[in-house]
Amino acid sequence: MYDYCVIGGGIVGVATAYRILEQRPGARLLLVDKAERLAAHQTGHNSGVIHSGIYYAPGSLKATLCRRGAQWTKEFAAAHDIPYRVCGKLLVATDSAEHARMLDLYERSVTNDVEVELIDAAELRRREPHVRGTGALFVPSTGIIDYTRVTEVLAERVRAGGGEIVLGTEITAIDESSDAVTVSAADRTWRARRLVVCGGLQADRLARLAGLSIALRIVPFRGEYYELPDTRTDLVHTLIYPIPDPELPFLGVHLSPTIAGGLTVGPNAVLGLSREGYRKGSLDLRDAREILGYRGFHRVAAANVRTGLRELRDSLFTRGYLAQCRRYCPELTLADLRPRECGIRAQAVLPDGTLVHDFLIERTERSVHVLNAPSPAATSALPIAEHIVSQLLED
């Protein structure tokens, strides 16, 4: 019998295992993932940004945990020799509507207690000569890191603390009784006193497998990236973001220096018909049937017809995608955009069509389920883990 079992070897699951062993040294802990390696899904396919927490609704879990997570991620990286860089981020307004939204965002960042500087068009040009806008917000604390590396180091700490990590094993049954939780894969079964499920793109299915009565479903949104050739990596030195649409949980196509020295463009947000199919046009019949038959999805689609069609068009025709980036970086050309593997966001959608913006965590007597952990959950993984573990240890 294990004391704790964690399902999911993305950054949230591994950080939770790490935190459990920090709080309960010597506990018997097992972490299981169906992929052959850690960080195989969202954690290994993201922008690598250490967000500062300016966007999120004041008082939300995202606002609180992101701010704390940004600091904690940098401290963890420094303590374990993980390369990271605090390059700062510019949020660039390109017309009067965006300029007005930028000023609202400035107010929000003040409420969220994140240091932000408001700069005008001339100052923007001075700092980033290849970027144009009517003004910008500069967030000095935003950084970049490789979250796969962070996850691997967390996993090394878990193993060093006596935790077991089993990969390549899909959990297909979860049974909770009054004294234990039994989790089963094709040919193996384990029992644990407590279970934490951090299943990312499969979070809703795992919750239903465990008997939770949840109304939401995970809808996959592909985030397609391009990378710039080596000759163009000097184009910008800070992260360059557009001003986001406050109605949508996605931040818009941005220019991101990577910790490996590259420069990426992306991600967009296009409906996916396969939760784990990374190739363009991937289709998984079960996933597609569930999404297209879901009332919540119909409502999202109806409320966002124009945005959805525009994203689809720009996904199919790179020229449209390029136009999004050229709003703030006019000298980018089609030849600069070289396709790179996409990421797939797990976005929880309620039956009434609400996109769940905040992190969502539910618990039963013996289990905790992370039902929605979209961006900035990589930045926030350590405080999310702390939040989960404090719930587990309450009992």
Ligand X SMILES: Cc1cc2nc3c(=O)[nH]c(=O)nc-3n(C[C@H](O)[C@H](O)[C@H](O)COP(=O)(O)OP(=O)(O)OC[C@H]3O[C@@H](n4cnc5c(N)ncnc54)[C@H](O)[C@@H]3O)c2cc1C
Instruction: Select from 17, 31, 207, 344 the one that contacts ligand X (CB under 6 A).
Output: 344
Q: 372 - beta bridge partners?
A: 360
Tokens standing for 207?
């919750």
For ligand X, the closer CB: 123 or 152:
152
Using CB under 6 A as the binding rule, whether residue 385 contacts ligand X is answered as no
For ligand X, the closer CB: 48 or 135:
48
Using CB under 6 A as the binding rule, whether residue 272 contacts ligand X is answered as no
For ligand X, the closer CB: 92 or 195:
195
To ligand X, the closest distance from the beta carbon of 199 in angstroms equals 4
For ligand X, the closer CB: 252 or 343:
343
Q: At what angle do helices 11-23 and 381-394 cross, to 10 degrees?
A: 50
Instruction: Select from 2, 5, 6, 9 the one that contacts ligand X (CB under 6 A).
Output: 9
Count the residues in the chain. 395
Using CB under 6 A as the binding rule, whether residue 296 contacts ligand X is answered as no
Using CB under 6 A as the binding rule, whether residue 145 contacts ligand X is answered as no
Using CB under 6 A as the binding rule, whether residue 34 contacts ligand X is answered as yes
Residue type, 88: G
Instruction: Select from 49, 165, 271, 368 the one that contacts ligand X (CB under 6 A).
Output: 49
Please name the residues in contact with 85: beta carbons below 8 A apart, sequence gap of 6 or more: 143, 144, 145, 257, 259
**Of the listed pieces 103-111, 126-134, 280-288, 367-375, which binds ligand X according to CB under 6 A?**
367-375
Number of H helices and E strands in the chain, helices first, is 11, 20
Whether 15 contacts 65, CB under 8 Å: no
Q: How far apart are CA 182 and CA 179, in angstroms?
A: 10
Whether 27 contacts 21, CB under 8 Å: yes
To ligand X, the closest distance from the beta carbon of 167 in angstroms equals 9
**Of the listed pieces 28-36, 132-140, 173-181, 311-319, which binds ligand X according to CB under 6 A?**
28-36
Alpha-carbon distance values, 319 to 57, 228, 252, 329 (Å): 34, 15, 16, 14
To ligand X, the closest distance from the beta carbon of 125 in angstroms equals 26
The residue of the chain with the least Cβ separation from ligand X equals 10
**Of the listed pieces 26-34, 135-143, 226-234, 361-369, which binds ligand X according to CB under 6 A?**
26-34
Using CB under 6 A as the binding rule, whether residue 46 contacts ligand X is answered as yes
Task: Give the x-and-dash track for 216-255 against ligand X (CB under 6 A).
Answer: -------x--------------------------------
Considering only CA atoms, which of 332, 273, 379 is closest in space to residue 49? 379
What backbone phi and psi angles, to 5 degrees, belong to 269?
-145, 100
Using CB under 6 A as the binding rule, whether residue 47 contacts ligand X is answered as yes
To ligand X, the closest distance from the beta carbon of 323 in angstroms equals 20
Between strands 181-184 and 84-85, the pairing is unpaired
- Size of interface with ligand X, in residues (CB under 6 A): 42
Q: How far apart are CA 259 and CA 19, in angstroms?
A: 26
Q: At what angle do helices 318-326 and 305-316 cross, to 10 degrees?
A: 110
Using CB under 6 A as the binding rule, whether residue 372 contacts ligand X is answered as no
For ligand X, the closer CB: 349 or 373:
373
Residue type, 265: V
Residue 280, SS3 per DSSP: coil
Using CB under 6 A as the binding rule, whether residue 31 contacts ligand X is answered as no
Task: Give the x-and-dash track for 160-199 against ligand X (CB under 6 A).
Answer: ----------xx--------------------------xx
Between strands 239-242 and 89-93, the pairing is parallel
Considering only CA atoms, which of 53, 36, 93 is closest in space to residue 242? 93
Q: Which residues bind ligand X (CB under 6 A)?
A: 7-13, 32-35, 40-43, 45-49, 51, 170-171, 198-202, 206, 223, 267, 343-345, 370, 373-379
